Amino acid sequence: MGPIDYLVLEFPGNQFNGDVLPRLLDLVEGGLIKIIDLMFVRKDVDGEVVILSVSDLDGDGELDLGVFEGASSGLLGEDDLDDVGGVLEAGSSAAVLIYENVWAAPFAAAVRASGGQLVSTGRIPLEELLETLDETEPDA
């Protein structure tokens, strides 16, 4: 297996319009990632946290995300989704995604076969990278 990552994407004002879904599907169809879990959480204006069905996000009775229906390994529990709801602004929603980096699986297997092991991983926030690049860029 490749490394497993998660994302929590907040959509203030519940303004999720689905534009991100084709890009996510491109990653899956391109063999770059495999979706392990995909859940949606909404925090009402009164602060109540609601877990939404993957298949019908807007409640109109039409299947919005049928291609992702059933993407649930059980890794995400109600406590996890409550934690997500706790950090959301009232009147917002979030997508919670756990995925395997399929592209990295052959590399990870080669590392293990060579006796190596992963001892650390992390991410550098884009804002930090841009700030550092701005600081090191010579003035024009």
Delimit the domains of the chain by residue range.
4-104
Q: What is the pLDDT of residue 63?
A: 46
* Whole-prediction pTM: 0.74
Per-residue pLDDT tens for 62-119?
545 555 555 666 788 788 888 888 899 999 989 899 999 999 999 999 999 999 998 9
The phi, psi pair for 58, rounded to 5°, reads -95, 0
